[in-house]
Amino acid sequence: MSIETSKVGLPLAHDSARGHVTGAAAYVDDRVPLEGQFHACIGGSAVTRGRVTRMDLTRVRAAAGVVDVITADDIPGVLDIGPVFPGDPLLVADEIEYRGQPLFAVLATSHELARRAVLLADIEYETLEPVLDLRQAMDARYYVRPPHRMQRGDAHAALEKATRRFEGELSVGGQEHFYLEGQASLAIPGEDGSMTIYTSTQNPTEAQKLAAAVLDVPMHRIDVVTRRMGGGFGGKETHGSPWSCIAALFARRSGHPVSCRLSRRDDMVMTGKRHNFLNQYDVAHDDDGRLEAIRYHLAGQCGSSPDLSDAIVDRAMFHCDNAYFIPDVLIDGLRCKTHTVSATAFRGFGGPQGMIAMEAVMDEIAFRAGKDPLDVRRLNLYDTNERNVTPYHQKIESFSLPRILDLLEEESDYRARRAAIREANASSPVLKRGIALTPVKFGISFTVSHLNQAGALVHVYSDGSIHLNHGGTEMGQGLMTKVRQVVAEEFQVSPERIVVSATRTDKVPNTSPTAASSGTDINGMAALNAVRTIRGRMVDFLARKYSVDGAEIVFQDDQVRVGGEILDFSRVAKEAWLGRVSLSATGFYRTPKIHYDRESASGRPFFYFANGAAVSEVVIDTLTGESRVLRVDILHDVGRSINPAIDIGQVEGGFIQGLGWLTCEELKWDASGRLLTDGPATYKIPAISDTPPVFNTRLLEAADNDEETIFRSKAVGEPPLMLAISAWCAIRDAVSAVSGYRELPVLNAPATPEEILRAVESIRGMS
């Protein structure tokens, strides 16, 4: 493969980039309303925990424009749409478990009229005492799922005989997805009980399966179509399905097309967020700052139902080592139940919540050992020889972090800047600066093995144009662009020749959610597999027709060289068609090498690891608690990048989203369980002005993947979010400066101005 003809590695623009900025890229709710289209709106509970004793919907039914009203009794099929375990009734039939939980749904001639009608419900409740606090749930052992343990060695014994030992606790906040496009679905009834559902989901197969279950029809009656989402971030993995099910139900009952899109407030109240965690650790280390043992307690607040919490708390447990070898380790993961909306997937899937605990531990060890935190991090880093076994017994076989840390330390001028900051802080009483360099090691693969599969469908038309379809969904991350480059590469044609169409369950069935950063890895491989089938047929055909050896047939520059002749790719397509060669193929991929036994918590859950590191420099105002990020340097390993422009976009976007999680985004519920932060006025996501004024993002050069991934690239979607932990560590470093570095304060996440001020006050005067 010559460099000139390589399609992978090109910084192509996102294939909807123009559409995104001009508005031509259509989202579900942008469709021109169909003739007779109705609109659904959901009525939620006004109490946090309890039961309905009387529900009078007479006034709702009589309201202007109302066509239909349904409750749990009107669901013909399955009521509980919990994705893995039960616990998620589509409409409450029994106990109410959180404020805003859907009780009934209204169908009206317009969105506005449906919303107005919902307000007219007359409902009486019997209330029960809710559990709202994570610590309270933890103490009461109130769980949505049983605890789970991982261990290697004997942490208890190692801790007992340790000379240097400390305990600590870190509270880590949740996060609202705040996708620009909220949850939206449109169900269009067809012939013979069939239904087509256009929906903003990361998981079309799940939407199909659940609509079928709720309507009590086989899956083949439901087609789900997803062209793109205006952001998903994990919030549309399972939490898009209730709304497509409601739309499908009403569409079935009315025979009309039905749109169900949530208002921003309903979206924030009724759909799940990132799990907040309470992390406790008991740590032993030696005089040099080398870890000896850790005992972790990681408690995730799961809300009212299991949803994906088993896998999410597992992923927190899988990442509480981050990049460091722990000789003896014991990890308990708790899935605590509270009467709040069920927490769900969010970029990193529990990984960030586990990883930040380890980075807090690293800083504390450095503080106690009197060393630069970077030296302690390096000292504890995994290697590929002996200090290479994770708490789940997977060996680190290949590790780019030592090289990344060397390069980044040098390029960011870390040492000199740390010294300069210390010096400057000594003479700056109000403003204090801080700096931190933190690594990320993130396991790639769904830890639930069966999800690591993908399918694709490729057609070559007789004019040489190519149609590509696969099971992954586009949420802005550039998946379609990258898989298109894969197909272009394998056919050696220009990407413009290829069109990627909407993800559809009737084209590629039984797909996994687009999640775990594996979209390109698995769908790219499935597409490659399909292309190889078609290419193989073309080669066989040309070899016969032109009496040449297959080895003499070369695809290059939108052409095919057949012995001495050069044919245009479109001519080959046409000749193959005339020769009655099938130019359509499915492709399939299953990730190799992975296995995991959850019972013994050991195996090789991850095909490989994605790595990166960041240096953040911050300044805090010790009188107001405000913070700013002044400079960020990132070096991230995406293996051999398929599209460096898109990958850099993912790294920058992920970092900023992580920065929001750790600094300004704070979810607040009142004492009765009502979400107070239910709109942009009260929930603060990072603004463009929060972009660090110096923001150097680079992909690791000469990077590779030792595993046979798609063109040796590495997944990029989630890992960069955790690079923002460097900013949180830098803020903690800045607070420490208030005590002349004699104290290292507890700093909970998010480090909002209030929390920073609290931490400052806690150590002020201790110098």
Can you give the binding site for ligand MOS, defined by CB under 6 A? 202, 234, 237, 345-347, 349, 515-516, 718
Kindly state the smallest distance separating residue 641's Cβ from ligand MTE, in Å.
Answer: 13
466-485 binders of ligand MTE (CB under 6 A): 475-477, 479
| Binder of residue 627, out of ligand MTE, ligand QUE, ligand MOS, none (CB less than 5 to 8 A by kind) | none
Secondary structure in 3-state letters for 375-411: HHHHHHECCCCCCCECCCCCECCCCCHHHHHHHHHHH
CA distance 650 to 384: 28
Q: Is 233 in the site for ligand MTE (CB under 6 A)?
A: yes
The binding track of 407-446 with respect to ligand QUE, each residue x by CB under 6 A or -, is ---------------------------------------x
Residue type at position 699: L
Task: Name the phi and psi angles at 555, rounded to 5.
Answer: -90, 125
Is residue 349 within the footprint of ligand QUE (CB under 6 A)?
Answer: yes
Member of 448, 499, 548, 685 binding ligand QUE (CB under 6 A) = 448
Write b or e for each residue in 234-268: b if 16 or more Cβ atoms lie within 10 A of its Cβ, otherwise e.
bbbbbbbbbbbbbbbbbbbbeebbbbbbbbeebbb
Residues from 641 through 660 that contact ligand MTE (CB under 6 A): 650, 653
**Nearest Cα residue to 249 out of 59, 79, 504:** 79
CB-nearer residue toward ligand MOS: 369 or 475: 475
Of these, 48, 259, 517, 641, which contacts ligand MTE (CB under 6 A)? 517
Is residue 311 a contact point for ligand QUE (CB under 6 A)?
yes
Helix axis angle, 351-369 to 725-737, nearest 10°: 30
Which residue, among 438, 433, 526, has the nearest Cα to 479 in the 3D structure? 526
| Residues 333-352, interacting with ligand MTE (CB under 6 A) | 347
The correct pick among 516, 522, 615, 749 for binding ligand QUE (CB under 6 A) is 516
243's enclosing H/E stretch is helix 241-254
Residue 695 C-beta-side C-alpha neighbours within 13 Å? 19
Nearer to ligand MTE, 300 or 391 (CB): 300
Sole residue written with tokens 């610590």 = 135
Q: Does 447 bind ligand QUE (CB under 6 A)?
A: yes
Is 718 labeled as catalytic in the residue annotation? yes
**106 lies in the binding site for ligand MTE (CB under 6 A):** no
Taking the C-alpha atoms of residue 470 and residue 459, their distance in angstroms, rounded to an integer, is 12
Q: Is 452 in a helix, a strand, or coil? A: coil
Cα four-point dihedral sign 654, 655, 659, 661:
positive
One of 57, 247, 515, 662 touching ligand MTE (CB under 6 A): 515
Candidates 4-12, 289-297, 447-455, 699-707 — which segment interacts with ligand QUE by CB under 6 A?
A: 447-455
What CA–CA distance (Å, rounded) separates 305 from 307?
Answer: 6
Q: Which is nearer to ligand MTE, 50 or 352 (CB)?
A: 352
Rank residues 523 and 736 by Cβ distance to ligand MOS and give the closer one: 523
> Which residues, 6+ apart, have CB-to-CB distance to 37 below 8 Å?
186, 256, 257, 258, 259
Q: Which of 652, 665, 718, 755 is catalytic?
A: 718
> Strands 595-597 and 565-568: what pairing?
unpaired
Residue 318 CA to residue 315 CA, distance in Å, equals 5
List the one residue from 89, 182, 232, 686 that touches ligand MTE (CB under 6 A).
232
What residues numbered 486-515 form the site for ligand QUE, per CB under 6 A? 513, 515
The item of ligand QUE, ligand MOS, ligand MTE, none sharing an interface with residue 311, based on CB under 5 to 8 Å by kind, is ligand QUE
Give the nearer residue to ligand MOS in terms of CB position, either 305 or 517: 517
Position of minimal CB gap to ligand MOS? 234
Catalytic residue numbers read 718
